[in-house]
Amino acid sequence: MHEFAHQLDGEDRAFDGTPLLPARSAYAQWARVFHGEFESLRRRAERGQKDVIDEYGATNPAEFFAVATEAFFERPEALRRRHPDLYRQLQEYFNLDPAAWAAPTAAPGEG
């Protein structure tokens, strides 16, 4: 997932943590959410605080996008709970909701 995110990020040949988005209007919201979350991760990493997002993401915005993508697919419930705006941005970008994949299903005859 990490390397896949780098490939998506580099589609515009700028490895900057912002992949190509579906609409020009999406970039402002993406920048606001991702910049805020990146800076928060940097502060937590400086203090040695652990998070659902790997502290390696505090290295630069490209690594942040990659580790946020990892968390989105590997620990979606935790990411959604601790970073709902970031989760929503990734959910819209990937057009997926991995947290819903782990939702319990009704037993046969229920629901």
* Res 111 pLDDT > 50: no
pLDDT, residue 108, reads 56
Nearest to 40 by CA among 74, 86, 73, 88: 86
pLDDT, residue 4, reads 96
pTM of structure: 0.89
The residue-averaged pLDDT of 58-72 equals 98
Give me the chain's average pLDDT, please. 93
pLDDT tens sequence across 16-40: 999 999 999 999 999 999 999 999 9
Q: In this structure, what token pair is assigned to residue 82?
A: 């601790």
DSSP assignment string, 27-92: HHHHHHHHHHHHHHHHHHHHHT---SS-GGGGS-HHHHHHHHHHHHHHSHHHHHHH-HHHHHHHHH
The percentage of the chain sitting over the pLDDT mark of 70, rounded to a whole number, equals 91
